[in-house]
Chains A and B, each alone.
Chain A
Amino acid sequence: MRKRAVYASILSSAAVLAVGWQIGTMGTAQTSVVAATTASDPATTPPSTSGSNGATAEAPSDTTTTDTPTTPPDTTTTAPATAATDGTYTGASASTRFGNVQVQITVAGGQLTEVTALQLTDSDGKSVQISNRAAPVLREEALTAQSAAIQTVSGATYTSEAYITSLQSALDQAGL
């Protein structure tokens, strides 16, 4: 009886772990979509025709606490826009439990050329540290991707999510 219990325990634990792994790997693919949808801020812009996939109306306005770190989604998530106007656009401020995040973008020649962080998570020393580390990485990713569909920085999930939210809002204003 004892032995049977041990074998059954091993089996059921293995099954549970396998399911967890499966959900985890599937989940990251899904969350990247979720992150992309929540990123477009309904409070500031009407849903743009390209890129967003209809779910924006229900998306929470600014407290994006989506926990799952995202992997880079298929590059097709955001279709390249055609009607981008040059200029600077300020994204909506996204609040997190560690402080607010707001970014400004510069569009030149229909391209995203610069992302400046106006405010980053700064509720305490740890947050400032994390922000300072994450910001350059996120900026680089955004410039490369030419969209807000970028990977979050590990260990800076809150900052990254909020950064993406604000960035998307600015991109929407620019029509990018």
Chain B
Amino acid sequence: MKLQTRAPRTTAPILIPTPPRASVPRRLRTQDALIITCWTSVALAVTLYLSSGGAATVTDIPSAFSALGIVTGLVGTNLILIMLILAARIPLIDRTVGQDVAIAFHRQLGKPALYLILGHAVLLTVGYALTDGSNVVAETLSLFNTPDLPLAYLGLGLLLAVVVSSVVAVQRHLSYEVWHVIHLLSYAAVLVAVPHQLSAGAVLAEGTVQRIYWIALYVLAFGAIGIYRFVLPSVSSLRHGLRVTAVTTIAPGVVSISLSGRHLARFTGAGGQYAVWRFWTGATWWHAHPLSFSAAPNTATLRITVRDLGAGSRSLAGVRPGTRVSFEGPYGIFTDRVRSSPYLAVMAAGIGITPVRALLEHSPLHPGEATILLRGSDQNQTYLWDEMGALAHRSGSTIYSMMGHRPRGLDTWMSAQALSSGVTLTSVFPHLRQSDLYVCGPQTWTDAVVRDARHAGLRPQQIHVERFDW
């Protein structure tokens, strides 16, 4: 049996009950509020049309087409603005659901938004053609001669490019950089559609409340992007002036990068969080890397650890001490702050160890409170395990390691050997039901762990996962 005890189990765990954490119910309530706001805004988009008396204009089939066309346009644009807000890395959203969940939702909205906007164009063209008794082609030509409409068509084309490139990029046919540049076009796509919304439609006509609300939505979305993605990151990058102090290879293809800078006492990162890093050398400045801290940020040093997952992260190994570093963040809720239960169960596989290590270092733990399982397929994946052992020892936590490949054809997170010897989540973590489970590792592995954890009776708010696939 490969399941080894790395540090002696504390014999009599004296558990001082953790004080109830008020932030968790509040976080869930805020989460609900965000969801409600999101869907209500969609209803509000429809209401813009209804309140302008739109429903009364529907008298026959052509006018029904046109009405539906207007509503799809309003709802589609509303969804796109929600997508922008989700991608803006707003602290409230990051604290409440985590930026990874926000981005997952952002992705889900992409296709529906595109279909609605396409529907907007098609339905209105058909509606007008029916009203005028002309055909769709002639109608499209005459629409092109309407003020602001050519720009709107341009926006539609850009939007198509953005969504198609995202779908293709997900299928790994497109490099991250190309995808990213095309994605920036989405800002242009949304903006060039504005003039026709304000001039061609009756719903958002001058002097209406509807128009004011709509413009406010745009200001909110673009303001959030501007402030949280550009202004604040630039300000804190300039304030801290980070530079690389050391680059250490700690395993084949894995490097730890230490950083230092000014005013690090005011750096707000917590263990388990990540930031999006940019290393200002000729070969790497155009690539931003989302990387977790591999040690809890302190007043002297920040440390990140990276494994070569692609050409971009491979080139980081060649970064020299002294290189300037800018960053956006820190982000993420893989932290001590979202704990909800008295015990702590931690699982890490491969490079997933980085946020777990920083989390553990940053958590005030009672002896016996935490149990840790480290997972690797072979000896090359044991980097940072020594540091984990030391941290576990210091906090009186139990630590296990499980080495070996997963059995072929079986959907499990365990090694073949552990599986055959009857290891389960509950045998590793005796207090699992009263634990917060923190999991970080490859996606399929994480999915298998989460499935088993749900099966063992853990509630969703007890499970904390950090994703790595973006």
Chain A residues within 8 Å of B, Cβ to Cβ:
1-2, 4-6, 8-10, 12-14, 16-17, 19-21, 23-25, 27-28, 31, 65-69, 71, 97, 123-126, 129-130, 133, 154-155, 157
Contact = CB atoms under 8 A, between A and B. Distances in A.
Contacts of A129: 132, 134, 142
Interface string B24-43: 00001101100110111011
Contacts of A133: 131-132
Of the four ranges (under 10, 10 to 19, 20 to 34, 35 or more), the interface on chain B belongs to: 35 or more
A65 B205 contact: yes
Contact of B31 (A5, A19, A126): A5
Interface stretch (B54-62, B259-267, B350-358): B54-62
B53 A69 contact: yes
Contacts of B36: 5, 8-9, 12
A23 B51 CA distance: 5
B35 A5 contact: yes
Interface stretch (B115-123, B143-151, B277-285, B405-413): B143-151
Contacts of A97: 147, 199
8 contacts: A1-B461, A16-B44, A17-B50, A19-B51, A20-B44, A21-B55, A65-B206, A155-B128
Interface of B: 28-29, 31-32, 35-36, 38-40, 42-44, 46-57, 59, 62-63, 66, 128, 131-132, 134, 142-143, 145-147, 199, 202-203, 205-208, 460-461
Given A67-B208, A129-B132, A21 B50 contact: yes
Given A24-B50, A25-B55, 17 more contacts: A2-B460, A9-B39, A9-B40, A16-B43, A17-B47, A17-B50, A19-B51, A20-B43, A21-B47, A21-B51, A24-B53, A25-B53, A65-B205, A69-B53, A124-B146, A130-B132, A155-B66
Contacts of A10: 39
Mostly, the B contact residues are helix
**Which one of A5, A69, A97 has the greatest number of beta carbons of chain B within 10 Å?**
A5
B52 A24 contact: yes
A126 B52 contact: no
Contacts, number: 117
Contact of A24 (B35, B55, B147): B55
Contacts of B56: 24-25, 28, 69, 71
Contacts of B461: 1
A67 B198 CA distance: 11
Given A125-B145, A155-B131, A69 B202 contact: yes
Contacts of A4: 32
A88 B54 CA distance: 36
A13 B40 contact: yes
Contacts of B35: 5-6, 9
Contacts of B38: 9
Given A9-B35, A68-B52, A97-B199, A124 B145 contact: yes
A154 B58 CA distance: 9
B205 A67 contact: yes
A10 B461 CA distance: 23
Nearest to A14: B43
A31 B143 contact: no
B146 A20 contact: no
B138 to A, nearest CB: 9
A4 B35 CA distance: 10
